[in-house]
Chains A and B, each alone.
Chain A
Amino acid sequence: MGRACLVDTTICTGCRACQVACKAWNDLPAEKTKFRSKGDGYENPPALSGRSYTRITFHEILDDGGNLDRSVFVKRQCMHCEEPACVSACPVAALQKVKGESGSAGAVVYDVEKCLGCRYCMLACPFNVPTFEWDKTVPKIQKCTFCADRLEAAEPANPQVNDQPLAGESLERFEDTQRMPACAKACPTGAIEFGEREDLIAEARRRIEEKKKQRGSWQYVDHIYGEKEVGGTSWLYLANVPFDKLGFRMDLGERPYPEYTKLALDAVPPAVIGLGAALGAIHWISNRRAAAEEADGPETPTGREGEQAEAASEPEKPTSGEGQRAV
């Protein structure tokens, strides 16, 4: 059991309420941005960062004649893997996957106070999500928290609105929406749906099948991104254009990343697993990914997640893995 979000990109209008709602709930400062000379639309800020846990990427999909077929908008944030590479990579257990019956089960959370700033998680993450506070004197890793603090919130005693006690359906609506991620609550069209992961997979499957019955209509790609990738993620996606055209990595496989780490660490007695060992494991993953990026062909890894690759080419925002290595 675990909570999850289903992002249906076919009903995302690209309004970016999620970006602002995230900043509002998490008290994140605005970034100083400028008009971007890259990308298909109004994307900003240019990459995920310690100040921006989520962002929308804009995609203009062209037809064979080079004309616009459609615009698609895709929300990016931590995928909250079922078996996160970052958790296994973290030498001090600052990152953890919440499991069990907890309200925030499914979230990958982190403890800023434990974080050493070693950045192994950044290297380990197949989605290049955790980012480093480059502008801080004691920089830490930051990323989407799944609003675990909202999800964990216990029932408020006698909530009142305009001094009238809430009851019945009003109370339910209040509590339900207080206990979902800020982005999912804000989303004007319901493109971000919050719920139990199993239920959302079933719902996604239902939408795909429902559309198939409507002949002559557009169709979903018959794939729920995140259902199986890297062993499954808590953020799931539907789309009506191939996922690779939307910057999703199609080369990740279904095997959880920590299994690769485990291979490297299994031979070592737990007592000596420390920074060095973790570093070795990360090095292994990192090399594997670098190799993957150089490979080509449909069935082999073809590249990095679109936004990160693009961010890397903007030198003023050294937030990607590439940027980090250069430092």
Chain B
Amino acid sequence: MSGEQSGHMKVTRRTFLTGTAAAGVGVLGLDLSATAAYAREKAAALRRLRITTTICPYCAVGCGVLVMSGKKNGTSAVANVEGDPDHPINGGRLCPKGSGLYQLANNEKRLRKVLYRAPGAAEFEERDWSWAASEIARRIKSARDATFTTRNAKGQVVNRTMAIASVGSAALDNEECWLLQKFLRSLGLVYVEHQARICHSSTVTSLAATFGRGAMTNHWIDIKNSDCVLIMGGNPAECHPVSMRWVLEAKEKGATIISVDPRYTHSSAMADIFAPLRAGTDIAFLGGMIKHILDNDLIHRDYVVNYTNAAFLIDGEYRFDQAAGVFSGYREADRRYEKASWQYQVGADGEPVKDPSLRHPRCVYQLMKRHYARYDLDTVSGVTGTPVEALRRVYEAYAGTGAPDKVATIMYAMGWTQHTVGTQCIRTMAVIQLLLGNIGRAGGGVNALRGESNVQGSTDHSLLFDILPGYLKVPTASQPTLGAHNDACTPKRLGRLSANWWGNYPKYFVSFLKAMYGEAATGENDFAYAWLPKPDDGVDCSWLSIFDEMYRGNIKGFFAWGQNPACSGANANKVRKALARLDWLVNVNIFPSETGWFWQDKGLGLEPADIKTEVFVLPAAASVEKEGSITNSGRWMQWRYKAADPPGDARPDAEIMNMIYRELKELYAAEGGAFPEPVLNLKWDYFRGDRFDPHALAKDVNGYFLANAAFPEQGTKFKKGERVPGFAYLRDDGSTSCGNWLYCGSYPEAGNMAARRRREAGGIGLHPEWSWSWPANRRILYNRASVDLDGQPYDKETPVIRWERGKWVGDVPDGGWPPMNVDPESAKYPFIMKPEGHGRLFAMELADGPLPEHYEPLESPLTANPLNGRMLNPAVKKWEGEADAHADYGSTEFPHVCTTFRLTEHWQTGVMTRHAPWLLELQPQVFVEISRELAEEEGIRRGDQVLVSSIRGTITAFALPTARLKPLMVGGRKVQQVALPWCFGWLMPRDGKGGDSANLLTPNIGDANTMIPETKVFMVNIKKLDVAGHPEAAL
């Protein structure tokens, strides 16, 4: 709902840019109006404009934007878009995508009508909303009723349907994400997924396993506080352009900037040190750094002993078998680990056994030392292809920050996450940061650069099959009752001084159920726990599995909501074929996409008449055409205002959900059907008529007291109906509701915290009163590790918090307990989300090992792993169907390592940016970067058309030989790397000359922990095409 309708703002007409051409004449005797013919018109128009703020809808830097809008033909329209000069992150600056936002709002290619494609039809037909909503509701009900499963094969209550799946969307506002998960789960869907699975799922799992929370630890501005910035597995200059202002500010103050990448990128151009590596070998590279740190005793000892599990003793049975390439507990039969031998030794007093001297052979520190002994410079260089000298330079520059007053940070993205070892790759860096004492510190942390404007929020609000809002867990079939679920998911405190914050799990879970089902959730019915759909234990229901099931014809109905899987899905040929096996597809977007139009794809090898899938394309509002919040990579929840009306029949996503839900509810009320309770009893009071009120939903996410409550210890009292000020007040008895405990406190009685716009004066860049940051407005996670045992900051120049006169000052402390030396009895360790309160160098909950180990990708130029006896991560799942081919190790047919990358000018699959003419002008057509050496060998010149092929598909691209890519010496022989941007698609530009998605080549295999696809490395061949478009015959 817009400000006008909600009454939160009143529209004013104001004067903008009163300076005109005419004024120029008077002063200068010079007719400035002539500077451009339109100037007078524009100045006149801008004078009538209203200015509202929004946050850029592209990457997750979260830049502030001013939108100047006015009335045009009776509807409000965007007239000009510029950076918000007040915004602390971007200070008015914008990248080319943000600078071109005007063309997102004003674009003739925007979807304006509901489109329907009947089975076998060759064209879309225009329809209206009421028809579409009732037809879609009818199809959902039919599929749901026909396939609803009350009990699984084991007889466990599951209340689900596996015949409908949904992907999307990080492009939705927080309020819409939360509403969508509510709607989908009421239907019984377990196939609930979105972008986060395929971009940063490995980040969430890795960082949660190490530190306790799965998010970027610090935030964008804080990068300026660093003494050394490692850019590896990411390319912020091109993918998060505005973030580079903070990198360069650090550099200006003397920080060393390091870039490690298969390609020399624009980020490399800003770096002091560049080191190339073979794609997919980051664990080997970083494992070598761990060895360098341990061998040279460069650790921040005080920090390591007190705040990490380095001193903890591990079970005597734990070992790594180098010859077999597996950790203890491996079961070959089902490719899984038994993790009993990875656990701590616990004393009779219930305390974990520790050796603070770090000398005990079973302590984590010594186990690590032994594990990484194999990662010497020569071995690492042989794996990564990085010259030894370059390795040494990077290690020395980075590891030099183990000194207590020095701090280093890492900026990474898909180059680390999208691998079969993605989770462990990030873990390697997390381990390094703990060893150097860089977590919790200003200028430190592990900074996952998230790529969609609200992918942090869409993850927090759980559009993923295995989590519920706030990283609560999706109940599984083996948990028949709320009690069983809570028991399985609530960790036990390990050690007297551990806070074990997840011990509060039941409070958050019950409060969530109250937000889902309202008064229908009661103590008597287990708070409607049974209504949540439950997947079977151990069964993956993530992205790759959805498309595999769809390919097999097991999925009838599919929502692609603000997503374009036909281009973003790994092994996109399989995805595109799978779409043709659906009964119906609902595609919600602001532009036409290769997904909604898949049945017109000539590459599919099918005629439209042979494709029976019904397609509903629903036109959505763009970000400036609705109101709500999004959460950036640094966890800042920022409010966006409505500036303009959506074009034609386009509607905000929440209203689209509402139209379908209302129809469906009516159908169930009138006709009954399979398990109607969750559909009929969903708490759904966020609409005034058919208009969405994002404030009402944001308040529900924040949470309410459902009964009067008194807290004598804090001296506070609350009335029934008041909003909860923070998650510490949530209860497990049904007396509080809270849609997402992590966002509790974002919309208290004091108002909408996300809309705050007060900048910090001075300070280290925390800006505590600008928007709101989860959790509890804390800007730097684990910040109690930034101080010594007396509560005094390791780094005096950029202190995050400090214990002063009996209290903490600075950032919101990560747990308010006093420092260890101040009060040894009531103090708590700083990593409060872990049961033992310590950062985990050794992490026992992961699927593929407690310490990161290098394995080769699914496809590799090598035939043996130089570091251990196993090529592929032993805990990954391999699909072996007809569409799941992969090249043999050392294949001569596909001899070159290929990686994919993103362009500054395009975003994701390019649906939004390929439709923006200013951006398409900058990057119009797909190309492939190759080394000059490879170009010479293959007789390829710049601009030649080449065929790039993997075992799964081919694409045609223009060749771009460049000195920025060099062949590497790997395993004693020369290996070529080539690189493809993945932002192109056959549908747009309309002439078909833009090319297609690099994902036609990528493999559908996932990481062992999260099933994030390995889209960042695979093997290809490359051949020049002759004039007729055929590969040139070898002479």
Contacts and interface: CB of A to CB of B under 8 A. Distances in A.
A29 B918 CA distance: 7
Contacts of B85: 170, 173-174, 176-177, 185
A149 B237 contact: no
Contacts of B962: 40-41, 60
B32 interface: yes
A248 interface: no
Interface stretch (A154-162, A258-266, A283-291): A154-162
A222 to B, nearest CB: 20
Interface string A37-65: 11011101100000000000000101000
A109 interface: yes
B393 interface: no
A324 interface: no
A102 B27 contact: yes
A10 B238 CA distance: 16
Interface in A144-159: 145, 148-150, 152-159
Interface stretch (A14-22, A123-131, A300-308): A14-22
A134 interface: no
Interface stretch (B37-45, B298-306, B996-1004, B1013-1021): B37-45
Interface in B247-286: 248, 264, 266-270
B264 A162 contact: no
Interface centre among B83, B95, B237, B269 (most CB of A within 10 A): B269
A13 B237 contact: yes
Interface string B12-44: 101111111101100110111011111100110
A186 B80 CA distance: 14
B27 A68 contact: no
Contacts of A154: 17-20, 23
A104 interface: yes
A33 B918 CA distance: 10
A293 interface: no
A36 B943 contact: yes
Interface stretch (B86-94, B673-681, B703-711, B884-892): B86-94
Interface stretch (A187-195, A198-206, A230-238): A187-195
Contacts of A159: 14, 16, 51
Contact of A156 (B14, B905, B926): B14
A11 B32 contact: no
A14 B266 contact: yes
A67 B963 contact: yes
B94 A188 contact: yes
Given A11-B248, A30-B917, A71-B264, A177 B237 contact: no
A118 interface: no
B581 interface: no
A72 B241 contact: no
Interface of B: 3, 9-12, 14-21, 23-24, 27-28, 30-32, 34-39, 42-43, 51-53, 66, 80-86, 90-100, 102, 237-238, 241-242, 244-245, 248, 264, 266-270, 641, 755, 757, 759, 903-905, 917-927, 941-943, 958, 962-964, 966, 993
B244 A188 contact: yes
A27 B963 contact: no
Contact of A145 (B19, B23, B35, B641): B35
Contacts of B963: 60, 62, 66-68
Interface size class of A (residues with CB under 8 A): 35 or more
Contact of B98 (A17, A37, A44, A60): A17
A70 B31 CA distance: 44
Contacts of A110: 34-35
Interface string A176-187: 111000100111
B242 A30 contact: no
A26 B755 CA distance: 31
B4 to A, nearest CB: 10
Which of A20, A104, A145, A182 neighbours the largest number of chain B CB atoms within 10 Å of its CB?
A: A20
Contact of A20 (B28, B43, B922, B943): B922
A68 B931 CA distance: 11
Contact of B245 (A42, A160, A190): A190
A188 B14 contact: no
Contacts of A68: 264, 963-964, 966
Nearest to B993: A34
Contacts of A158: 14-15
A186 B43 CA distance: 20
Nearest to A14: B266
Interface centre among B36, B92, B99, B927 (most CB of A within 10 A): B99
B504 to A, nearest CB: 36
Given A98-B28, A102-B27, A174-B86, A24 B53 contact: no
A150 B269 CA distance: 32
A152 B964 contact: no
Contact of A19 (B39, B96, B266, B920): B96
A162 B34 CA distance: 33
A162 B923 contact: no
Given A13-B237, A188-B241, A104 B248 contact: no
10 nearest interchain CB pairs?
A37-B943, A111-B34, A30-B917, A153-B19, A154-B19, A173-B85, A68-B963, A20-B99, A71-B269, A13-B237
B34 A170 contact: no
A11 B270 contact: yes
A182 B35 CA distance: 14
Contacts of B43: 149, 153
A272 to B, nearest CB: 25
Contacts of B35: 107, 109-111, 145, 148-149
B641 A162 contact: yes
14 contacts: A11-B248, A13-B238, A16-B96, A16-B905, A20-B100, A30-B917, A31-B921, A38-B942, A42-B923, A67-B966, A156-B17, A162-B757, A163-B3, A163-B9
A214 B98 CA distance: 36
Given A112-B37, A177-B85, A20 B14 contact: no
A11 B921 CA distance: 24
B918 A177 contact: no
A23 interface: yes
B95 A17 contact: yes
Given A98-B30, A110-B35, A185 B641 contact: no
B941 to A, nearest CB: 8
B66 A187 contact: no
Contacts of B94: 17, 21, 186, 188
A96 interface: yes
A112 B36 contact: yes
A113 B920 CA distance: 31
A121 B264 CA distance: 40
Given A35-B927, A104-B32, A185-B93, A156 B922 contact: no
B846 to A, nearest CB: 36
A24 B918 contact: yes
Contacts of A174: 85-86
B28 A102 contact: yes
A96 B30 CA distance: 8
A155 to B, nearest CB: 7
A68 B924 CA distance: 26
A15 B14 contact: no
B30 A71 contact: no
A114 interface: yes
